[in-house]
Amino acid sequence: MADNAFSNIKNLYDQLTDGGSTENSLAEIAMAQPDDMWQLRSKLLGDSPHLSEEVLKMVADKTEVFTEAAIFDVLAANPDELRKVELITYLEEKDNPLPGYMIDILRQVAEGTSYKTVLTLQMTQHNSSRNRAAQDIIRSLTHSEEPDRQELRNWLANLQSLQADRQIIASYLEENSFDEALMLAETLPAIYALEGDDLQEHNRFVSLIQLQQSLQSENRKPDSLTTAEKSQLESMADLETTSGAIARGILEFFFGETTVVCPTMQETVPEYKSSTPAAMLQLAENSLQISVKPNPASAWAAFDYVLPEKASQAMLSITNASGKTVREIPLNQQQGQYLLDTRELAPGTYTYTLSANGVSKTAKLVID
């Protein structure tokens, strides 16, 4: 009886593995062309989680057919095979390896999904929706001719982020409410557990507030800075940070001094556009990055993105030439690749916008 039971289960197992034939699956992948990606991806996901290590390795190698996101989707649908150290090592060391952040997520997938994971995802999705609504209202208030700063601060507080709190501080500075600005600034290291370089940057940010307070109380203009105050700004101007961008803006606007700092791949220093001392402390931590390939696209478009530091939610919006939003995609990873099925969209020129923490980047996508 036990032997019969084993045989029945073994037969079922063999029928499920690689859709019933490993040899056929390998041949189908080997002969696939780029235009076959969506159909083959669907078949492989349909055969999951019963794909073999051999088939998964060939999928990972077929980079001329599958995007990184498609490879990731197929691998993630087969957590049992991902538990094998040999497979993860192969993915890291092969030609054209998967990005490190994808490997890290696959390691987590291999550990299985718990109810806590489901709840966390749901909370993230709801929080993303809440943040999008708050950001829409914030944009509306910001562009008002006479913005209600208290209402603006209330909505910024809903975002519960360091950048939002610094924008609240900037709103106090526009009212010359230095005590309120400094009081909030003093709480931020504890709230966001700032330490090391982050804490040093925060202290520089506070020193800029104190400098502006000194100018205001003494009825001085920024172009009347003392030698020591100007030296303080010059020491900050060489830094690739928010305080560095502010210091460079002040020096350039009032003294005509230009300091060039080449940003790293992970951060872009915001362009200075301020015209008043208070506005100089408006922050735009614009380390948002997004690109798309191929462009023009026919069957699919892969969006590679990086969110600002400590941001974990964003919205990718696709808008047609008439201004109608045709896709809204929540993104819940700090870095990743989103694969868009462009076969469902009419040929033409589209605008894509990535928004996170009140910052956005927009570019064009052409669909053939």
> Could you write out the DSSP letters of every residue in 272-339?
P---STTGGG-------EEEEESSSBSSEEEEEEEPPTT---EEEEEE-TTS-EEEEEEE-SSEEEEE
Low-confidence ranges of the chain (pLDDT < 70): 1-14, 112-131, 142-143, 222, 253-287, 309-310
Hey, where are the domains in the chain?
Answer: 2-110, 161-281, 289-367
CATH of range 289-367; options 3.40.50.2300, 2.60.40.1930, 3.40.800.20, 1.20.1080.10 = 2.60.40.1930
- Each residue's pLDDT tens digit, 137-194: 777 776 677 778 888 888 888 777 887 888 888 888 888 888 998 999 899 898 888 8
The kind and range of the H/E element at 367 are strand 359-367
* Per-residue pLDDT, 256: 62
- Each residue's pLDDT tens digit, 48-61: 888 889 999 999 99
Put simply, whether the predicted model's pTM sits higher than 0.85 gets the answer: no
In angstroms, how far apart are the furthest CA atoms of the chain? 95
* Per-residue pLDDT, 272: 32
CA distance 292 to 301: 6
CA distance 348 to 320: 8
Residue 29: CB atoms within 10 A of its CB come to 19
* Per-residue pLDDT, 61: 93
Q: In percent, how much of the chain has pLDDT > 90?
A: 14
- Each residue's pLDDT tens digit, 312-325: 788 899 999 888 88
The kind and range of the H/E element at 9 are helix 2-16
User: What are 250's two structure tokens?
Assistant: 């002040």
The answer to whether the CB of 298 falls within 8 A of the CB of 342 is yes
DSSP strand pairing (348-356 vs 289-293): unpaired
